[in-house]
Amino acid sequence: MDNNSDTRVMGIDPGSRSCGYGIVDGAGNRLSYVTSGTITPAPGNSASERLNDIYVGILRVIDDYSPSVVSVEEMFFAKNARSAIKLGQSRGIAILAAAQRGIPVSEYAPTRVKLALTGRGRAGKEEIQKMLSYMLGVSEFQSTDESDALAIAICHLSLSKYGLPDGTVGSAGSRRRKKRFTVNDLSA
């Protein structure tokens, strides 16, 4: 990403019961909040109906706000196989929706998102929300799904600013050369 160009990123925190989304504009070191929220299918719907509701909701947000890239949280290892499968289905729906609109997709591990936002890969939800409030001027979030989606979008902007998809600086094999991103890297 050219540091002088504008990029609109849609972050998606997938889930089968609630799917968070957040859209942020980035230009150089400046961030601007665009919108965020959750797509919440009716609880009585079947699994296929919930996935369809999420798919249609994501398409609607994409059509309304025209992001240039979509970033999605990567799968993490779950103890419960059934939950992992449902999360995988929701991730697939999010990736499919972006692909249907011809939008590139980037994926980031949860620890990478936390590291890019706070400088700590093990930051808690409250710490993430405080950093987002500081960076974007948003005082409240409807849910952690919404704030996580915004964090994923900002992670993409932060890491793509350095031209490295995984956010490492230097050779991929050297742990000493990894850079921890801070708020100073993200805002002017």
Write down the catalytic residue from 13, 25, 146, 148: 13
User: For 99-145, what is each residue's pLDDT tens digit?
Assistant: 999 999 999 998 899 988 888 778 888 888 999 999 999 988 989 99
Q: Can you say whether the dihedral through the CA atoms of 73, 31, 29, 123 is positive or negative?
A: negative
CATH number (domain holding residue 163): 3.30.420.10
Is 145 annotated as catalytic?
yes
Q: Supply the pTM of this predicted model.
A: 0.82
User: For 151-174, what is each residue's pLDDT tens digit?
Assistant: 999 999 988 876 555 433 333 333
In a domain, 14, yes or no: yes
Per the CB < 8 A criterion, the answer to whether 186 and 158 are in contact is yes
Per-residue pLDDT at 78: 63
Per-residue pLDDT at 68: 96
pLDDT bucket at 77, cuts 50 / 70 / 90: low
Write down the residue that tokens 């409030």 correspond to.
133
Per-residue pLDDT at 20: 96
In a domain, 129, yes or no: yes
User: Structural domain tally of the chain?
Assistant: 1
In a domain, 1, yes or no: no
Per-residue pLDDT at 166: 46
With a cut of 50, say whether residue 91 has pLDDT above it. Answer: yes
In a domain, 162, yes or no: yes
Top pLDDT among 2 and 82 is at: 82
Write down the catalytic residue from 25, 73, 146, 148: 73
User: For 7-57, what is each residue's pLDDT tens digit?
Assistant: 999 999 998 889 999 999 998 788 999 999 999 999 899 999 999 999 999
Is 73 annotated as catalytic?
yes
pLDDT bucket at 176, cuts 50 / 70 / 90: very low
Which residue range is the domain that position 40 belongs to?
6-186
Per-residue pLDDT at 94: 95
In a domain, 13, yes or no: yes
In a domain, 153, yes or no: yes
- List, in sequence order, the alpha helices (H) in 6-143: 47-65, 81-100, 110-118, 125-136
With a cut of 80, say whether residue 187 has pLDDT above it. Answer: no
Write down the catalytic residue from 64, 127, 140, 145: 145
Per-residue pLDDT at 168: 35
172, 111, 183, 64 alpha-carbon torsion, rounded to 10°:
110
Using only C-alpha atoms, the chain has a radius of gyration, in whole angstroms, of: 16
